[in-house]
């Protein structure tokens, strides 16, 4: 199901919570841990696990921004819609990051639920590279919000 930002708010899939830089920092640490897990899985030739862990690194790094701003998600898709609405529209974040997050969320979904899909080493390597770049961009955005 494709959501718009407005749908996410109306359906309670994005909810206001107390803003927390501490939770945001914890989410960044969680993202770094997932990235480490993705690398370990790739080295162990567990490609599906590596793809899933790479996406989780991206998800948690994006989620850090929501925590900082005082929001909590109930839908992975709504994380991207939030960033799009609050940061892309005002020029603080490039649209390519939202597209990357959406792409890897969709790959994660297929990897997790499609019984005939199996990730390859190339897909796992690409996912790790994407998550490294995404995590760095979210850290940069977060740090700019602290100033």
Residue with tokens 């919570």: 17
pLDDT (tens digit per residue) in 110-127: 888 888 888 999 999 999
Instruction: Report the percent of the chain where pLDDT is more than 90.
Output: 89
Mean pLDDT over each residue of the chain, to the nearest integer:
95
Residue 52 has a pLDDT of 96
Q: For position 69, which CATH number holds?
A: 1.20.120.330
> Tens digit of pLDDT for each residue in 46-81?
999 999 999 999 999 999 999 999 999 999 999 999
Give the number of domains in the chain: 1
**DSSP per residue over the chain, as a string?**
----HHHHHHTTSEEE----HHHHHHHHHHHHHHHHHHHHHHHTT-HHHHHHHHHHHHHHHHHHHHHHHTEEES-HHHHHHHHIIIIITTTSS-HHHHHHHHHHHHHHHHHHH-TT----HHHHHHHHHHHHHHHHHHHHHHHHHH-
HSE, side-chain direction, 13 A CA sphere, residue 32: 8
pLDDT band at 1, cuts 50/70/90? low
- Structural domain for 45, as ranges: 5-146
Res 109: pLDDT: 87
DSSP annotation string for 88-122: ITTTSS-HHHHHHHHHHHHHHHHHHH-TT----HH
Angle between helices 47-69 and 95-113 (to 10 degrees): 130
């Amino acid at each position: 199901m494709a959501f718009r930002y407005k749908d996410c708010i109306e359906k309670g899939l994005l909810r206001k919570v107390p803003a927390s830089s501490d939770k945001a920092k914890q989410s960044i640490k969680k993202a770094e841990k997932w990235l480490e897990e993705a690398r370990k899985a790739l080295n162990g030739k567990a490609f599906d696990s590596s793809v899933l862990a790479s996406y989780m690194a991206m998800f948690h790094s994006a989620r850090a921004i929501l925590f900082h701003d005082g929001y909590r998600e109930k839908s992975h898709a709504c994380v991207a819609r939030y960033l799009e609405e609050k940061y892309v529209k005002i020029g603080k974040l490039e649209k390519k990051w939202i597209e990357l997050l959406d792409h890897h969320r969709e790959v994660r979904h297929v990897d997790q639920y499609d019984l005939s899909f199996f990730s390859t080493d190339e897909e796992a390597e690409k996912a790790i590279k994407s998550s490294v770049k995404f995590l760095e961009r979210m850290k940069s955005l977060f740090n700019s919000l602290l100033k």
